[in-house]
Amino acid sequence: MYILKPEMAQELKQTSSKIYTDTPDILYKSEFVATVGDICTIKLIEEGIIPNLMVVDYKTKRSIKLAKMQLGVIESVKCKSIEVDNEPGTISQQLYFEIKNAIKSKIMTKIIVNGEEDLATLPVIKHSKIGAKVIYGMPDKGMVVVDVNQQAKERANKLLERMLV
Q: Per-residue pLDDT tens for 62-83?
A: 778 888 999 999 999 999 999 9
Highest mean pLDDT among 16-25, 124-133, 155-164: 124-133
91-112 pLDDT, tens digit each: 999 999 999 999 999 899 999 9
* Residue 16, pLDDT above cutoff 90: no
CA pair distance 125, 12, nearest whole angstrom: 14
- At position 28, the amino acid (one-letter code) is Y
Determine the residue type at 137. G
pLDDT in tens, 138-157: 878 889 999 999 999 999 99
pLDDT of residue 108: 96
Q: Which helix (H) or strand (E) holds 144?
A: strand 142-147
Report whether 26 contacts 133 (CB < 8 A): yes
DSSP 52: S
Q: Is 110 left (phi over 0), alpha (psi -120 to 50) or beta?
A: beta
> Among candidates 89, 126, 117, which has minimal Cα distance to 7?
89
